[in-house]
């Protein structure tokens, strides 16, 4: 499993960002290999993150080539390049 954390700063209010995230959620549910996605509020104003759990590096790589992935910055009015961390999960606490 692969853990991807995308930290971003948005010009949107939290309510507006959540409305957009909820509207787009069915598209994310349909992505092959995406096990889970968490929508996260960070400490600063306009700071949010997406935490993705992927079944493989191949699924993550395939997602990155999609129109959905390429539309994230515009959809959430990202104001600066996001910080992206990718890690391999060694083992889960719960199966």
Beta bridge partners of 52: 4, 37
Q: What pTM did the predictor assign?
A: 0.92
Domains along the sequence of the chain with CATH: 2-88 (3.30.70.100)
Mean predicted confidence (pLDDT) in 51-61: 98
Question: For position 31, what pLDDT does the model report?
Answer: 98
Q: Over the stretch 59-82, which tens digit does the pLDDT of each residue have?
A: 999 999 999 999 999 999 999 999
Q: Over the stretch 17-47, which tens digit does the pLDDT of each residue have?
A: 999 999 999 999 999 999 999 999 999 999 9
Count how many residues are written for the chain: 95
| Strands ordered across the beta sheet of 83-88 | 34-41, 47-54, 2-9, 83-88
Question: For position 95, what pLDDT does the model report?
Answer: 83
- Among 3, 66, 6, 74, which Cα is nearest to 31's? 66
Distance CA 72, CA 42 (A): 18
């Amino acid at each position: 499993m692969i853990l991807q954390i995308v930290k971003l700063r948005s010009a949107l209010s939290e309510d507006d960002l959540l409305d957009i995230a909820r509207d787009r959620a069915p598209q994310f549910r349909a992505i092959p290999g995406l096990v889970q996605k968490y929508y996260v509020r960070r400490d600063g104003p306009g700071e949010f993150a997406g935490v993705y759990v992927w079944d493989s590096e191949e699924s993550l790589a395939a997602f990155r080539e999609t129109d959905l992935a390429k539309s994230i910055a515009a959809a959430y009015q990202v104001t600066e390049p996001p910080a992206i961390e990718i890690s391999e999960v060694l083992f889960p606490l719960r199966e």
